[in-house]
Structure 1
């Protein structure tokens, strides 16, 4: 069980769980269009065991059961994402009435159960038709995203607690266009540079579109990773500084200050879109909150043989999860302080935090230590408004397929049976002040 009580976090602090459409919904029927993750996962060697999200957790049909789990666990909110290809199958043009009706049912189901809907517009499932035209390498995609945001804002704004434009822009741009690990799987510095800029321009244009529709409580969710030098050498220190600028500073600086770190601009400016500086006012539109996703750290080692960004990333000797990610809860405190002190005085949410692990006792300890890290930040004056555990269900973990399990509820993918883990009951005991019976 956790060593903390709900009251420790003060009034008005929301606890929730987070999941993403493509990872759980399945339901590739009723007019839903194809996404880049459908084609990426269908291509050999892109996902572990050739797993796909075609069925996943069948949330499209089983959402009432999942919402019951959220309610019964005592959680205040559910951070979910809309599927762009379910709503607008071709990315532009006519919307899909059945897709919109699904989200009507889902959101109304949350409200009926007293669950606050925390929405995300884009959690990586770009419509394939837009990728055919260049995806995030193409500036036109930012206009399509603004139109999509306007549609969501117009239809759902009065029922949503918050709206985030984009989840983890580093993953959208760099992981997917330079490292090639996620869809669309590019390994190209020009592709990555343009995606790094266009995803933030899309964010800013979506903020304008949502505000025009009267939507409120708008933000973005960034993922942050602690960057430390592999050794005490000056070269490794410089590598860590470059890694931090690339992973953390680019997105926070763009959104909060309207500026990119010069160290990265110096490297990729020739690959950025022409006149990119003219977009910074749109990219840095005023927001209502910032979401922080945090999991781990990397150790950066200088390597002159590596082109473009001359470093390699390593893990250290700290406790790790089954993906090899180290557990460094104190870095969450550092990031919350850093965002609050260096970038914005807006309210912050920890919008994702969790552990891929078969040993659920380790997961409980992980959550407990990171919740304490949030309290440490609050004690130092950071305005943290909520915490969302990743995730409610074991699900399709992108390139890791179904082998990686982050859920506090176990999934049997063959039978679709949901079985709460001890970590689920740890949360329920903290949130409800009593132990739930095992189902």
Structure 2
């Protein structure tokens, strides 16, 4: 498969060990009062019609690396109440979703009051369904004008982002329950680790896409986070996290603001393994950012096996997910323990999921992930949530709609939602632990 550029797709080809069988459920441990059970989604991947964003432009270019455009998404822009109703029916008590910067500020300094009003209605509906809203201010996408002027490579990018966060919080903050400025704030560092494994053909196509975007917008500086040079944007993203934190905490509202990270398990194999170096490159200075915020969001999908030469390819016969990387739910226990070592901030599992067309494997994933979570908590690590990615089968970036992470199937024509058996299984896991 072609190399992807986000956490789930960039991990394609990661090492695998043996196929994992479904885990037999142990007697359920009751979770502490206030534990958050949830599902996650992003604005661009589910809302549809995000025409003012950088991603919409890239998806629709003839030279694109995207398999298909996002189009109407899951029409969650209009059907959000249906999604909240499903989440409530599953017994969830929180819902993690994004507000779309490109909709709110479609031109620099011009904020849409109508869109902010829309998101107020979304937040109110979320609360009306008994769900605490956990809001992401930027889930990879940015306004097209922001990308045209250099994106996160621009020296003033952090200030522009903080201005957006301040404006959005003034309008919405009193309805927000928790928030993070970024989804997977270190995603560019994960992309850097895997970029060297890209085929020459893919690299050339990616370069041609960005060049085409620059021509189409008459902006030679065009830059998009999923395709930018990580070394040119890391310092600006760290600055943006710090400034956005202050802007959001200024209120209104009094809610925790944290850092969500892509936290894949990095495991050493053999003598001279360079796993420590790889782990350092994956996280960079982002644990310092965590320690300057209110919580850390752990977002885990697999592991990286590392020998003396670096990242190892998957062995023949390994069980892989639809995204191409190792089926390894045990990674969640590893990354929760890593977070506990790296910070004393509250730990939330803000994403954990699997892309598969075999829903029985999703059920097995949920069982195994729950077992890892409970083992960590039995060892005294306080974990405050388990949030599954994703509620819906949605747009998976460069891979389009072919990878299904959802607990709920979405008909691509009618947008009708249909719960999968895994959704009902998740509900039963929650009931047993309440």
Cα distance per residue 1:66-106 (max 9 Å; x no partner): 1111111111110001100111112x301112211211111
Moved more, 99-108 or 164-173: 164-173
Equivalent position of 1:337 in the other structure: 337
Which of 221, 232, 244 is the matching residue for 2:270? 232
State how far apart, in whole Å, the 2-side matches of 1:369 and 1:164 are: 27
Pair 1:36-2:54 in alignment:
yes
Equivalent position of 1:106 in the other structure: 122
CA-based RMSD of the aligned residues comes to 2.6
Equivalent position of 1:170 in the other structure: 186
Unaligned runs of 5+ in 2: 1-21, 196-202, 211-222
State how far apart, in whole Å, the 1-side matches of 2:227 and 2:48 are: 28
State how far apart, in whole Å, the 1-side matches of 2:187 and 2:381 are: 26
Residues 67-86 of structure 1 aligned to structure 2 (within 5 Å): 67-86=84-103
State how far apart, in whole Å, the 1-side matches of 2:227 and 2:98 are: 27
Pair 1:143-2:159 in alignment:
yes
Equivalent position of 2:321 in the other structure: 321
State how far apart, in whole Å, the 2-side matches of 1:174 and 1:325 are: 14
Unaligned runs of 5+ in 1: 257-283, 304-310, 435-439
Pair 1:20-2:37 in alignment:
no
Equivalent position of 1:120 in the other structure: 136
Equivalent position of 2:106 in the other structure: 89
Equivalent position of 2:78 in the other structure: 61
**In the superposition, relative to structure 1, how do residues 142 and 127 fare at CA in structure 2: closer, same or farther (>3 Å)?**
same
Equivalent position of 1:205 in the other structure: 243
**In the superposition, relative to structure 1, how do residues 198 and 127 fare at CA in structure 2: closer, same or farther (>3 Å)?**
same
Shift of 1:432: 4.0
Equivalent position of 2:347 in the other structure: 348
Shift of 1:44: 3.8
Pair 1:134-2:150 in alignment:
yes
Pair 1:410-2:409 in alignment:
yes
State how far apart, in whole Å, the 2-side matches of 1:202 and 1:184 are: 15
TM-score, normalized by length of structure 2?
0.82
Pair 1:221-2:260 in alignment:
yes
The DSSP-based 3-state class of the residue aligned with 2:371 is: helix
Shift of 1:172: 4.3
**In the superposition, relative to structure 1, how do residues 39 and 211 fare at CA in structure 2: closer, same or farther (>3 Å)?**
same
Cα distance per residue 1:93-148 (max 9 Å; x no partner): 01112211211111111111111101111101111111111111112110011111
State how far apart, in whole Å, the 2-side matches of 1:65 and 1:220 are: 28
CA contact (8 A) 2:295 2:346 kept: yes
Shift of 1:5: 7.2
**In the superposition, relative to structure 1, how do residues 403 and 102 fare at CA in structure 2: closer, same or farther (>3 Å)?**
same
Q: Which has the higher contact order (CA 8 A, sep 6+)?
A: 2
Pair 1:254-2:293 in alignment:
no
Shift of 1:216: 2.5
Q: Where in structure 1 do 4 or more consecutive aligned residues deviate above 6 Å? A: 180-183, 185-188
Equivalent position of 2:11 in the other structure: none
- Matched positions, count: 385
The DSSP-based 3-state class of the residue aligned with 2:300 is: strand
State how far apart, in whole Å, the 2-side matches of 1:106 and 1:172 are: 30
Equivalent position of 2:391 in the other structure: 392
Equivalent position of 2:230 in the other structure: 192
State how far apart, in whole Å, the 1-side matches of 2:387 and 2:225 are: 28
**In the superposition, relative to structure 1, how do residues 195 and 321 fare at CA in structure 2: closer, same or farther (>3 Å)?**
same
